[in-house]
Every structure is written in C-alpha cells, then in structure tokens.
Amino acid sequence: MSVVTTARETLNQMLRRVPAWPIYVASLGYAAWMLWLGVQNRLGADPVKVLEHEMGQMALYLLVAGLAVTPLRKIAGVNLLKFRRALGLACFFFVVCHLLVWAVLDVQRIGEVWADIVKRPYITVGMAAFGLLIPLAMTSNNLSIRKMGAAAWGRLHRLVYPAAILGGVHYVMLVKGWQVRPLVFLGVIAGLIAWRFLVKRKKAASRVQTAA
C-alpha cells in the first residue's frame, strides 16, 4: 500500500468521525458576527454593501465547495459526501441573507425591489438562480428522497447546475468592468459542471461499447 493511499484512507477515516452540524453552526455564527459588526459601524463607510457582498461571497464559496465534492471523491479519493447537504443548505442560507440585505437594508421599498428585478439584468439573473435553489433547499431532507424516489429527487437536484452558472454570471455582471475574481468563480463553477458531464458522457459511451 502506497503512502498516498494510506494517507487518503486515514483522512477518510477521520472525516467519517466529523459530524456535519458544525457547518450550520459556523454559517449562522459568521452571519451573526457580520451583522453585529455592521450594527457596531465596523464595516467601513458603507456597511450595507459590505454585508451584501460578504453574504453573496460566502454563498459562492459554499456552492463551489458543494460542486467539488464528487470530483474530489472520484479524482483524489477524498470522501466529503456526508457534508454535501450541509454545504448546500448553508449556501442557500447565505443566498437568502444576501437577498434580504439587498431588499430590506439597501433598497428598502418593495416597489423598487420589483422594479430592480425587472430592469437590472444582473438582479434578474440572480433572482433566477435563487428561484432554482428554492426547491433544492426544500427537498434537501431524507423524507423528500423517500417520497419522491431517488431517481426523481436526483433529477430535480440537477437544477443546481444552471443555478450555479447563473450565480456565477450574476457575480460577473454586478461588478464594474471585467474583474478577475468573478471570472475565476465563474470559470471554476463551469469547470466543475463540465467535468461532471464529461464523466457521464464517457460512462454512457463505455456502456454502449460494452453492449455492442
């Protein structure tokens, strides 16, 4: 047994002992801490914009982490599957926080909120991503899997791919000019999704050859 294999198995054994709930606690704690800093005027000249940016950024970090779970398992042999649901729900939590900061603290008027959704393309794209994530968050539980069946549940949760792309595009569109960071996020998201489809396509082609 190689050193790499031994290290990988040791890491996976350690990960099996780690529960997923700290992800929820850390997410709630970070959001509460950022809000407290805002209340204390410790987020700079425009605390609302900082809060809005931080909530959206955390959502993207968690989205990328969730998308990376399967490639890490397939390529590196590191099994983080037990954390994927927590990562997804934490991502949705930060998306909701991002939306609430924008709507309640930034825009403040419901009429202007709807006007911005219609008139500003980057907000339209962001809201589309949010809409796709809602059924995923609502069905991220064992009861939904049992009621829907694993196959139907899996098909529904493929909505994460267009939602992720839309989230990345939203980030690219909202910044001024072509900044590197948003483009890197979008590129990583697109790369992780492309990898999944290439693997599935390769498996399908292999099954066809075997059947022939």
User: In the structure, what pLDDT confidence band is assigned to residue 36 with cuts at 50, 70 and 90?
Assistant: very high
Domain count, the chain: 1
Domain presence at residue 55: yes
Q: What is the pTM of this model?
A: 0.92
Domain presence at residue 211: no
Does the pLDDT at position 212 exceed 60?
Answer: no
Domain presence at residue 65: yes
Distance separating alpha carbons of residues 66 and 81, to the nearest angstrom:
9
- Share the mean pLDDT of the chain: 92
Check: CB of residue 137 under 8 Å from CB of residue 92: yes
Domain presence at residue 128: yes
Q: What are phi and psi of 209, to 5 degrees?
A: -65, -40
Domain presence at residue 145: yes
Structure tokens at 117: 């959704």
Structure tokens at 133: 């994530």
Task: Tell me the average pLDDT across 42-59.
Answer: 93
Q: Which domain holds residue 185?
A: 3-206
Residue 177's pLDDT is what? 77
User: In the structure, what pLDDT confidence band is assigned to residue 200 with cuts at 50, 70 and 90?
Assistant: confident
Distance separating alpha carbons of residues 32 and 26, to the nearest angstrom:
10
Check: CB of residue 165 under 8 Å from CB of residue 189: yes
Does the pLDDT at position 205 exceed 80?
Answer: no
